[in-house]
Structure 1
Amino acid sequence: MPLQNKLKKQITIALLFFCALCMAQQPYKRTLKLMGSRFDITVVANDSITANKYIDTAVAEISRIEKLISSWDANSQTSEINRNAGIKAVKVDAELFQLIERAIGISKLTDGAFDISYASMDRIWQFDGSMTEMPSEEEIAASVSKVGFKNIILDKEKSTVFLKLEGMKIGFGAIGKGYAADKAKDVLIAKGVPSGIINASGDMNTWGKQPSGKEWKVAITNPMDKNKVFALLPITNGAVVTSGNYEKFVNFNGKRYTHIIDPRTGYPSSGIISVTVFAPKAELADALATSVFVMGIEAGLDRINQLPKIECIIIDDKGNITKSKNIEIDKV
């Protein structure tokens, strides 16, 4: 082969190799504030321009969800439902109706430990250091007098929602970010994004694998020292949500009361400081993580073990770790 042709061939190979490197897929991440919380959106793409277009699509979807479910936005359908509590039923989009329907389903599953009508509670517990004594039994009972998922009346044919009690409210604080993460993931998959992570302030939803072919790994924070990680767990196509209450709590009579409150009784949960739930959807993982706090270790674990494709890790206030029956932990 003439030297010139050989040189040309080598240059062509080098250029092809260089182009392959340029086109190699890699993760691109953007951090921003949405729904009043931090969102980290990671997509795997060939270049930053494509990646940013994908991320913009996810942001638009999350913003759309916020407008639908926000109880802070006076123009949202959720606010319209709350304004008409005890007055009349409100017609809503099928998407919101179905979200409320699923939320009620989780309330039934958890015997009311999860309840979107928690928004009706009077905020008598303060976790900012200002509380000097426990509220009275009468105050606690009154604080949840308008809470109760059984008073959310749905009419499927008319697609209406009616809150039976005047002053009753619903809110999606314990399920909304998970739902938004699910929807953002769905639109990105529909756009052809091969893999990525939506992290909605600890509500994580993943699909596909890293460009290296390895599974995404989720770090579980050590609640006894939040600057440390106690475990790394692989997750390929599903969601993981960690709820922690090691920062917001009060102590009375030697007992620690945390900011996650039982909507049935008005008393804060105690004994657990961290719950991590693995589920196919972030919406479900979000709701169950809150529920386990309220139900306690024994009842919470028993319920999780009865559900297919759901796993959890519970850490109590003494640092003891309890896990569901089908999960393996790789400690760091």
Structure 2
Amino acid sequence: MQLFRWCAESRPAFLLLLLLTLTVASGCAGRSMQQEPVVVKRTQMHMGTLVSITAVAADKQAAQTAIEAGFYEIKRLEQLLSTWIPGSELSGVNQAAGKHAVGVSGETLELVQRSLDMARLTEGGFNIAVGPAVEAWSVTERQHIPTQTELQQLRSVVDWKSIQIDPEARTIFLPRQGMRIDVGGIGKGYAADRAVDVLRKAGATGGVVALSGDIKTFGDLPGMKGFPVGIRHPRQDGVVVATIDLQDEAISTAGDYERYFEQDGIRYHHILDPVSLEPARLCQSVTVIAREGTVADGLDTGIFVLGPERGMELVERLPDVEAVIIDVQGRMMVSSGLRDRLRYP
């Protein structure tokens, strides 16, 4: 959850305590040539947001090499998955909607398949086909409130169940003209997972990959256990509701304060209920902690739509998944596996 903004369109960032820790660790490493291992952190712009990679390695050169490999992997995935890049694979799939299937890479096929799995798991709460309805609301631009007639006309093109995947031919087909898929609600978590894999292979023994509010950690900081991360209050900027130490885990959040406008005292935000095609109203924020960034990133939106009761029931059924849910009244629910791990201010 966000304690400051990376950029105007960023997802919530969990990084205040984390960055303070990394700054101290990096500074100590720089002052003592004999201290091992070292901590190196770098930031670049990818996937429409600032991406921060921190690597713990035997020496500075090894950490730098691992970080470069991580950034290269994220950039490579962006070229496949970003719908803002006209020549990306997903842009090609969208352009062929209603016409023909499109061949894609293994990574694109995997992420779309996992997105559909997440949609089934959350009863459609997570929906990579809902983009046309999100655009109709235009929360950050025109701030338009669509009529029920407008929304009704979009229902046929936001049906995630109609997306066709052929694993053997490695193709994706959108059967209706006007359909499009956007993996922005899960792609950053996926990219964080892949970048961590690359960092490990390059020799990093620990670190963090943070694509705005989607964070994946592995290993430990020197002299510490895990990586401390603060969770923001959804209605009080700069206020932390709890802190948790992440160990080989990912964290992601969905909140109604990320992108929204208010009109006549009503908050209209970008997380839509795929049934009503209107902003989901049962939560203020949902933070998910999981082993995989892909899971955390996809589940936070789906649970936000499901609401606190159904969402927490889902979390308690899933292995290696925990959540902090703040409902529309501001009440906080914590999953059973987190109750002894959270620290409160």
Decide: shared fold, TM above 0.5. yes
The residue correspondences of 1:120-269 to structure 2 (distance < 5 A) are: 120-121=132-133, 123-128=135-140, 131=143, 134-251=145-262, 255-269=266-280
Compare relative contact order (CA 8 Å, sep 6+) and give the higher one, 1 or 2.
2
The residue correspondences of 1:66-81 to structure 2 (distance < 5 A) are: 66-81=78-93
CA distance in 1, matches of 2:332, 2:134: 33
CA contact (8 A) 1:231 1:331 kept: yes
CA distance in 1, matches of 2:331, 2:252: 19
Q: Give ranges in structure 2 of 5+ residues lacking alignment.
A: 1-31
User: Identity of aligned pairs, percent?
Assistant: 36
CA contact (8 A) 1:257 1:269 kept: no
Specify the structure having the higher radius of gyration (Cα).
Answer: 1
Does the alignment pair 1:331 with 2:339? no
Q: Give ranges in structure 1 of 5+ residues lacking alignment.
A: 1-19
Q: 1:192 deviation in Å? A: 2.1
CA distance in 1, matches of 2:252, 2:162: 28
- Cα deviation per residue 1:244-285 (whole Å; 9 max; x = unaligned)? 222533446654332211233211111322111011101110
Q: Cα RMSD over matched residues?
A: 2.1
Counterpart of 2:47, as a letter, is M
CA contact (8 A) 2:185 2:298 kept: yes
Q: Determine helix, strand or coil for the equivalent of 2:229.
A: strand
Counterpart of 1:92, as a letter, is V
Does the alignment pair 1:285 with 2:296? yes
TM-score by length of 2: 0.85
The residue correspondences of 1:17-28 to structure 2 (distance < 5 A) are: 21-28=33-40
Counterpart of 1:97, as a letter, is L
Does the alignment pair 1:92 with 2:108? no
Counterpart of 1:215, as a letter, is G
Number of corresponding residues? 313
- Cα deviation per residue 1:213-248 (whole Å; 9 max; x = unaligned)? 322111111222221222110111111112222253
Q: 1:57 deviation in Å? A: 0.7
Relative to 1, partners in 2 of residues 1:61 and 1:299: Cα closer, same or farther, differing over 3 Å? same
Which position in structure 2 is the counterpart of 1:34?
Answer: 46
Q: Determine helix, strand or coil for the equivalent of 1:117.
A: coil
Q: 1:130 deviation in Å? A: 5.6
Counterpart of 1:67, as a letter, is Q
Which position in structure 2 is the counterpart of 1:306?
Answer: 317
CA contact (8 A) 1:31 1:39 kept: yes
The residue correspondences of 1:315-326 to structure 2 (distance < 5 A) are: 315-326=326-337
CA distance in 2, matches of 1:292, 1:229: 21
Which position in structure 2 is the counterpart of 1:106?
Answer: 118
CA distance in 2, matches of 1:218, 1:226: 16
Q: Determine helix, strand or coil for the equivalent of 1:105.
A: helix
- Cα deviation per residue 1:114-149 (whole Å; 9 max; x = unaligned)? 1111223362224348648x4322122223330111
Counterpart of 1:322, as a letter, is M
Relative to 1, partners in 2 of residues 1:267 and 1:55: Cα closer, same or farther, differing over 3 Å? same
TM-score by length of 1: 0.88
